[in-house]
Amino acid sequence: VVKQVVERIMNSAAFTFDYACMLTVASLIAVGGLATNSAVIVVASMLVSPIMGPVLALTFGATLRNKYMAKLGIYNEILSLAGCVVIGFVVGFGYAWGTNNRNAWPTQEMASRGNPYALADGAFI
């Protein structure tokens, strides 16, 4: 049973073409939610995001003392977060540049996520 669980987690943590596409879609949905000041859309992006795979690999790798699985999880998590930041920056910059609400940023949704207390709370999630 453990072998099947480990195999499934390793498959969900692998950075494949499908993983990259889902990560891109989730990032674009999050950018849309932040740009339009919609918490519902930001939460929807979390439902689409495949980032739970690397988190599970890191957790199970550390628990089972499987260094390869833990390293795969942390590496793909860092790669995923970097990809989300780059996609968010590029699309957000293009959105701000291409629309006439450039001066309305940051939106309330963006500002609430940048609050030090919100960041501290998010670190535990």
pTM: 0.82
Name the one residue in this structure whose structure tokens are 């987690």. Answer: 9
The average confidence (pLDDT) of the chain is 88
Give the C-alpha separation, 122 to 103, whole Å: 27
* pLDDT tens column, 62-110: 999 999 999 999 999 999 999 999 998 898 888 778 877 666 777 787 7
